[in-house]
Amino acid sequence: MLFSSLTFLFYFLPLTIICYFILPFRIWRNLILLAASLLFYSWGEPRMVILMVVEVLLTYGLTLFMDKSQKGKKLLLVLTVELDLLILICYKYTNFFVVLINDIFHTFIETLEISLPVGISFYTFQMISYVVDVYRNKAKVQKNPLNLLLYVSMFPQLIAGPIVRYESIEKEIEERKETFEGFSNGLRRFITGLGKKIIFANSFAVVSDYVFKELPVNEYTSTLCWLGAIAYTLQIYFDFSGYSDMAIGLGKMFGFTYPENFNYPYIASSITDFWRRWHMSLSSWFRDYVYIPLGGNRVPKWRWFLNIFIVWLLTGFWHGASYNFILWGLYFGVILVIEKLFLLKVLKYAYVIRNIYSLLLIIIGWVIFNCSGVEQIRLFLSAMFSSLPHFSIEFMNELNYAYLIIYFILGILFCTPLMKYVTEWMNKIAITGVIYDAALVLILAVCVMFLINNSYNPFLYFRF
């Protein structure tokens, strides 16, 4: 089930809210949230909910045993983390390794028919953070298995994050306070995210899907490839940041505080700055649970750079079992090492150029990310830089995309903090605050209209 679906908007969410708030006690409300979350997850994958529940219960039991043990805590930590990772690897990466073996040894091992559980990469990382935080005494072990299952399976953040650390909502599971202000702010945030997803991301998907998936490679031109690359750059931002906004908003409605996941990444002054702004919950997860345990930057320089490459190899591999994701991770790893060596010092004084430099490398990165293989990446990038692109109304008319020009203009504008300042100002003043809420109602109505009239409603991060 998608947040951006009529079933969710008109049936699942209203019924969950009604059942939740008519109950007076925390334990009952938690049970409603847990039941709703399991129903939400099992809506499209009833079998996979069993896998998630079993994995949570195994993690619960092993972590409880680890916490009570006087000796062998580290061994139990490693065992629990390896178990969670093994399940992830079996479901997500088995066929990748089969293909890799076939490519290296020229064998003909058949791939398996394995369904990838939705959100497994996200909830696996959440369980690992829980185990490690308990081991580090940053959080108390959860003695109620239902509370741990609620933390992992909570429907607002289950399928696409943000990756919520257990320590950050440990107290809120049993002691949170729901307020009218929190609910109304959460609803505003949810509608904002819904508008990003349905009005903008779905519109940009029309262009990017045509260029990347439908256009024959022998018809690639510089203009078409740049158009597709820019459309995908905007699509993935509005798609994923929109979903994060909806998740954060839903969390607020039920009294939870989820971490911010995006901070206008396309205004970044370097790639280092970009990864402080993009998918912040994932970047901080790899920093705290992989990079720092490897030694971070408090090691010899060669080891420091190796740590960066390991982190980015794993970051790429986390996104998917494909060569292009690995190449994408290493691509950013190389750039980050170069920046740390000398480039950040240069960029510090290159005020406009540094933003152009960052955006160009980001767009190239998304091309690598979205292509289906290494050969398509080569052909796509070659076409992009084969000549100067030329955009015009006539060109967009030929593609039947002229109506999307306004979306591109607004999309680029909304990637900057300008609209944030405007909406914050409107929300603070009584009259304009009413206008702002009226605008949100209009956005919701437009989203519903789009959903009724158009069945094309992809979500990029489902495959991760």
Q: Is residue 269 domain-resident?
A: yes
The residue segments making up the domain with residue 459 are: 182-463
Q: Is residue 321 domain-resident?
A: yes
The answer to whether residues 65 and 214 belong to one domain is no
pLDDT per residue rounded down to tens, the chain (464 residues): 788 889 999 999 999 999 999 998 899 999 999 999 999 998 877 888 999 999 999 999 999 999 988 788 999 999 999 999 999 999 999 989 998 898 888 888 888 888 888 889 999 999 999 999 999 999 999 999 999 999 999 999 988 879 999 998 999 998 899 999 999 999 999 999 999 999 999 999 999 999 999 999 999 999 999 999 999 999 999 999 999 999 999 999 999 999 999 999 999 999 999 999 999 999 999 999 999 999 998 999 999 999 999 999 999 999 988 899 999 999 999 999 999 999 999 998 888 899 999 999 999 999 999 998 899 999 999 999 988 888 877 888 878 888 889 999 999 999 998 877 877 776 677 666 788 888 899 999 999 999 888 756 666 655 55
Nearest to 384 by CA among 199, 164, 224: 224
The answer to whether residues 111 and 156 belong to one domain is yes
Q: Is residue 1 domain-resident?
A: no
Q: The whole model's pTM is what? A: 0.93
pLDDT for position 463: 57
SS3 labels along the chain: CCCCCHHHHHHHHHHHHHHHHHCCCHHHHHHHHHHHHHHHHHCCCCCHHHHHHHHHHHHHHHHHHHHHCCCCHHHHHHHHHHHHHHHHHHHHCHHHHHHHHHHHHCCCCCCCCCCCCCCHHHHHHHHHHHHHHHHCCCCCCCCCHHHHHHHHHCCCCCCCCCCCCHHHHCCHHHHCCCCHHHHHHHHHHHHHHHHHHHHHHHHHHHHHHHHHHHCCHHHCCHHHHHHHHHHHHHHHHHHHHHHHHHHHHHHHHCCCCCCCCCCCHHHCCCHHHHHHHCCHHHHHHHHHHHHCCCCCCCCCHHHHHHHHHHHHHHHHHHHCCCHHHHHHHHHHHHHHHHHHHHHHHHHCCCCCHHHHHHHHHHHHHHHHHHCCCHHHHHHHHHHHCCCCCCCCHHHHHHCCCHHHHHHHHHHHHHCCCHHHHHHHHHHHCHHHHHHHHHHHHHHHHHHHHHHHHCCCCCCHHHHC
The answer to whether residues 246 and 375 belong to one domain is yes
The whole-angstrom separation of Cα 32 and Cα 47 is 21
Cβ contact 81:131 at 8 Å: yes
pLDDT for position 151: 95
The answer to whether residues 170 and 187 belong to one domain is no
> Which of 175, 197, 231 is the C-terminal boundary of a domain?
175
Q: Is 390 designated active site?
A: no
The answer to whether residues 306 and 353 belong to one domain is yes
> Which of 175, 195, 220 is the C-terminal boundary of a domain?
175
Instruction: Note the residue count of the chain.
Output: 464
Domain total in the chain: 2
Q: Is residue 145 domain-resident?
A: yes
The answer to whether residues 81 and 107 belong to one domain is yes
Q: Is residue 234 domain-resident?
A: yes
The answer to whether residues 240 and 167 belong to one domain is no
Q: Is residue 277 domain-resident?
A: yes
Q: Is residue 230 domain-resident?
A: yes
Q: Is residue 151 domain-resident?
A: yes
pLDDT for position 464: 57
The answer to whether residues 289 and 433 belong to one domain is yes
pLDDT for position 461: 58
pLDDT for position 395: 80
The whole-angstrom separation of Cα 404 and Cα 410 is 10
The answer to whether residues 261 and 324 belong to one domain is yes
The answer to whether residues 195 and 215 belong to one domain is yes
Catalytic residue among 106, 279, 319, 390: 319
The answer to whether residues 119 and 257 belong to one domain is no
pLDDT for position 278: 96
The answer to whether residues 146 and 197 belong to one domain is no
pLDDT for position 394: 80
> Which of 105, 140, 175 is the C-terminal boundary of a domain?
175
